[in-house]
Structures are given as C-alpha cells and as structure tokens.
C-alpha cells in the first residue's frame, strides 16, 4: 500500500512516539503498533490530508486534531458543550461520509483500516520534514537529454487533439488519441497526479510549438515533464521532486519556467522548464487575513496570467492570492491580495484578466484583477464551492457568466463576469440551479448549448454515476445522463475535444487496482448520445485536451 517514498519517510521520523500494544478500541490514549501506524499514516496522506491537512488543522475538511477527535480521559464526550468525536463516531463518519461533502470510504477501506484511521486521527499528528532546494536538485532525473529532443513529431498522429488522462491510483498519465480513440501511452508520473498543464496563449509572450511539452504534479510532489512529439516509450523526458505533498503546476507565458505549488512543505518552487532544475523556493507560511500566523499555509492553485508576465498563487490557509512576477527571479516581485479562506481552485474569465477562485470554507468565489493586481469582488455562493476547471458562457439575461457547483450541496451558482460590457451584472449572482447532488467538476464549450456538471460527491450510486446537463438559455437541467451502472464506479470530470463536437467523461473505480479498471465514455455534443467507450485505463480521473487547454477554452 505504501507507494510513496520520501513523504512516509519524513512522517516516520516521529512515529516511534506512538508505538504501543493493545487494541484499537476507544481508550483515553489511543495507540497503534509501529507497522499499523506507518500503514495508516500513508492511508491518511493518500485519502484524507488533501482536505484536512497534514497537521489536521482542517480547511476544506474539518479540524481533526486530537482536541476535537479524542474522548476525555474520564470517558466523557463533551467539554464545555463541545462534542468530542471518539472512536465509534469517527468510524461511522469514515464509513458512511457526511452530508457536508465527505465521501463514504466503505468501498475503499476495509473495517480494520477504518478502525485504524479512526484511532490514528485521535493521536498527535506527526510533523513531516522540510525539503531543501539542494535535495530537490539532487532528485532531478533526465530520461531524454534536451539535445536529443526531436525537431518534429516522431509519429503521424494529430497530437493537438491528444487527451492527457490522469490514471490516479496507478501513478500514470495516459496519452489518448482524440481522433482515433486509441491509447498511445501510459506514462509513469508521481502518485495520484492532480493536474496536468502546458504553456497557454498569452497576450504579449509566445511559446514555440505550444502544447508540445506538458507538466504533471503528483500528490507526492513529483513534477514530471512530458514531450508529445516523442515515441510512446520516450514521452517522459524528465522529473524532479519539489515537495512531499502537492497539487498544482503552471508554465510561464514565455515557456521558460514551471511553477509547482506545495502542500507540504508549504511553498512554491520555480523550475527551469528545459532542465527541470529548481531555481527559486518561496515559503507561503505567514499571517492570514485574520491576523493569525499559519505554519501550514498550502498552495492549492497556481496559474499563469494570460495578460501579465506573472503567476497567480493561492495561499489556501492565509486567504490570500499572491501575484508572482517571474521576469526577474533574483528580485522577485510578489503582490499579496487579501480575499477569504480557504482558497482552493479557480479559472479565468473569457478575457483572461480576472481570476475567479473558490474560498471553500467561506462559501464564496473570490475575484482578482491580474492586470492591476487587486482583489475586486467576493461573491456569495452555496456551501463549499468547487468549480474545478470552471465554465464560462453567455446567459440571455446577465450576459457573460461564470459558474460553480459545490461540494457541500447540490447547487449551481452562476454570476456575471463582464464588468466592461455588462457592468450591472458583473460579480453578482445571476441565478442558482438546484442539482441532484454535490460534485467537483463542470465544463462547457462555445460550440455547446449546455453546461456539464458531475455529482461525484453524492453517496447514492445512481446520482454519483450520472452527470447533469444544464441548458445555457434557461439555466435549468435539460437532461441527466447515467454514465455507468457498475458497482463501485463513479462518473466525473468532463472535457471537450479540439473542435467541441464531443465531450469525454471518466468512469473511475474508487478502489485501488493494479489492473485497468476504468474507462472514458465519449458523447456527441449536440445529441448528447454516446459515441464510444475507451477501455484499458487505470482509474481515469481528470482529462486535458491539448487544443482546449492552450486556447483557454472554458
């Protein structure tokens, strides 16, 4: 189960403090054996830390420090009116999930693993090690030297309609030919890649052969470089470890730099895009918008600004957006913009000027102006917004709009995002649509009449296996598509092909497997009818089409 290398070793530095004999039952001082502690620590990292934090202080998820999770020594479950969860209650929550957006885990973990996790989160969280830039530099691996990069594609496929598909639990990215619906390669990457990005169109800067090089960020902090011009066995060209736990990556407008955002250590790293050598490390620890110092201020999202030579970095726990200007790394200019906690994921408006990002815990979408480096709006939404890669479209009443679904409830919130052409609607809620369940991702395309939304956060199989289709003209549900009926599988993350004539939906088996256990279902954008199924994929989740992404199509 322990497929991570550096991170568990770092966490293991303090594991011995918790070694003790005995059962996992509810006790005043919960204990686990050394081996069980190590295995459970890895489970927590893989499945829980993203929402609850390595130090368990909470963000998208609740605070899970022992002061909230462990019963008192006298066996009481309340102190000063505050509920202490305890072993049995924790096991029930992990098993069944919650209405607040936490998944059930009874289809992933067995009863012993659930009991061990409940015990583990009643124990003091181990503090992982730091990661120096010297250690990062030593981790660089070159699989294909830059001097050996081809000057033209070594295959005759239409690489601009390739899809890069995250094979989450296998630690791979699949390259799929969007024209032929064929899997081209399975490329080893970091564990549970969260996102894949390439250089995108920029107002003032240009990258030659845009969309050729892609960069993946694994949850284990491994940054991998992919060259789509290579033969399948040579597409992985380089990698570097920039954190022990990470989520996002972006490429500068000129293609010279890659930025990786770390959850732990809480920092971002600027890397040479050609050599993958780390150049600059900046910590995001600091004082949050409430005036409180935060040691675990994670970087949830990093994006390149299409209208400025800069990156946008979300300091999740600080409630701040940082604009980092990359032209002069020696004298790095950073502008900090106060918004709300906890910043997670976002997307640009159609002009590429305004970045719209979810502040999960504050139930708001925040808007920053990347031209003037200022926060301009805060939009109230439903419970725990999560737009994923986002969606922009034109509403008959409000004009250009953006939207988000939510982790905490089945709802679509839509707002105006055209302050120049439609100032009366700008940054105000246009309408809300009730959905069958909460979800994570939404997408659309200028050639589509619909907005597509998944419902993967709902515990009922019929709902989490379906996507909902919203009519752009009415804002209402036009159709619900049941993508799969196979037990244990869910439907999530939609992506259009290069011309927008198709959209692809992942079918993900949430339980780890060493065999291909998922597929992609391809639909016709106009008729909404199924066209094909692409099998042979390992737990496919996010998908990224080359042409869609380099052109900022949302």
Show which residues are catalytic. Answer: 48, 51-52, 102, 344, 386
Helices 34-47 and 111-120: crossing angle in degrees, nearest 10, is 90
Q: From 410, 387, 407, 320, select the one nearest 60 (Cα to Cα).
A: 407
HEC string of 183-240 equals: EEEEEECCCCCCEEEECCCCCCCCCCCCCCEEEEECCCCEEEEEECCCCHHHCEEEEE
Backbone angles phi, psi at 275, to 5 degrees: -95, -15
Q: How far apart are CA 548 and CA 160, in angstroms?
A: 9
The dihedral over CA atoms of 68, 73, 77, 78, expressed in degrees to the nearest 10, equals: -80
Q: What's the sign of the alpha-carbon dihedral 294, 299, 305, 309? A: positive
Helix (H, G, I), strand (E, B), or coil: what is residue 95? Answer: helix
Backbone angles phi, psi at 96, to 5 degrees: -100, -15
According to DSSP, residue 5 is labeled S
Alpha carbon distances (Å) from 349 to 307, 391, 419, 512, 549: 12, 9, 11, 36, 14
Q: From 489, 546, 516, select the one nearest 167 (Cα to Cα).
A: 516
According to DSSP, residue 169 is labeled G
Contact status, residue 348 vs residue 355, Cβ threshold 8 Å: yes
CB proximity list for 452: less than 8 A, separation 6 or greater = 442, 443, 444, 467, 468, 469, 470, 494, 503
CB proximity list for 23: less than 8 A, separation 6 or greater = none
Tokens of residue 235, six digits: 């597409």
Tokens of residue 134, six digits: 């010297």
Contact status, residue 446 vs residue 433, Cβ threshold 8 Å: no
Query: Residue written as tokens 């200019």?
Result: 333
């Amino acid at each position: 189960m322990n497929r991570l290398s550096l991170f568990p070793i770092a966490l293991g530095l303090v594991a011995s403090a918790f070694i003790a004999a005995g059962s996992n039952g509810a006790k005043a001082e919960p204990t686990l054996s050394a081996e069980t502690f190590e295995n459970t620590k890895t489970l927590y990292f893989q499945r829980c830390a993203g929402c609850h934090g390595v130090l368990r202080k909470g963000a998208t998820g609740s605070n899970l420090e022992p002061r909230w999770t462990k019963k008192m020594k006298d066996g009481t479950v309340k102190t000063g009116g505050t509920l202490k969860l305890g072993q049995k209650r924790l096991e029930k929550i992990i098993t069944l999930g919650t209405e607040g957006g936490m998944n059930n885990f009874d289809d992933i973990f067995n009863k012993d693993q659930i009991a061990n996790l409940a015990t583990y989160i009643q124990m003091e969280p181990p503090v992982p090690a730091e990661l120096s830039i010297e250690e990062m530099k030593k981790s660089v691996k070159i699989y294909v030297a830059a001097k050996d990069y081809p000057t033209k594609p070594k295959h005759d496929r239409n690489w601009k309609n390739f899809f890069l598909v995250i094979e989450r639990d296998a630690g791979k990215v699949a390259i799929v030919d969007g024209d032929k619906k064929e899997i081209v390669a399975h490329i080893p990457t970091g564990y549970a890649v969260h996102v894949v990005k390439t250089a995108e169109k920029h107002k003032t800067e240009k990258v030659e052969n845009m969309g050729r090089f892609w960069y993946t960020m694994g949850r284990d902090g491994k940054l991998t470089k992919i060259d789509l011009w290579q033969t399948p066995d040579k597409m992985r060209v380089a990698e570097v470890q920039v954190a022990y736990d990470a989520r996002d990556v972006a490429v500068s407008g000129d293609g010279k730099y890659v930025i990786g955002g770390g959850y732990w250590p809480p920092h971002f790293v600027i890397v040479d895009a050609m050599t993958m050598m780390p150049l600059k490390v900046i910590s995001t620890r600091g004082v949050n918008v409430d005036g409180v110092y935060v040691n675990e201020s994670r970087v949830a999202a990093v994006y390149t600004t299409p209208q400025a030579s800069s990156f946008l970095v979300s300091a999740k726990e600080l409630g701040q957006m940082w604009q980092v200007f990359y032209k002069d790394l020696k004298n790095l200019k950073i502008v900090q913009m106060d918004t709300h906690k906890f910043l997670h994921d976002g997307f640009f408006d159609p002009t590429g000027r305004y970045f719209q990002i979810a502040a999960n815990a504050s139930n708001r979408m925040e808007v920053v102006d990347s031209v003037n480096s200022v926060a301009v709006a805060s939009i109230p939404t439903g419970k725990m917004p999560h737009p994923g890669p986002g969606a922009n479209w034109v509403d008959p009443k409000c004009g250009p709009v953006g939207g988000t679904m939510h982790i905490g409830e089945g709802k679509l919130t839509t707002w105006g995002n055209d302050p120049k052409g439609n100032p009366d609607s700008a940054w105000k809620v246009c309408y809300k649509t009730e959905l069958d369940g909460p979800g994570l991702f939404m997408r659309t395309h200028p050639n589509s009449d619909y907005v597509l939304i998944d419902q993967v956060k709902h515990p009922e199989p019929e709902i989490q296996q379906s996507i909902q289709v919203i009519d752009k003209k009415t804002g209402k549900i036009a159709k619900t598509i049941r993508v799969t009926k196979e037990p244990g599988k869910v439907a999530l993350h939609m992506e259009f092909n290069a011309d927008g004539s198709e959209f692809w939906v992942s079918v993900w088996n949430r339980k780890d497997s060493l065999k291909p256990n998922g597929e992609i279902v391809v639909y016709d954008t106009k008729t909404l009818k199924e066209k094909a199924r692409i099998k042979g994929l390992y737990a496919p989740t996010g998908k990224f089409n080359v042409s869609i992404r380099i052109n900022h199509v949302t």
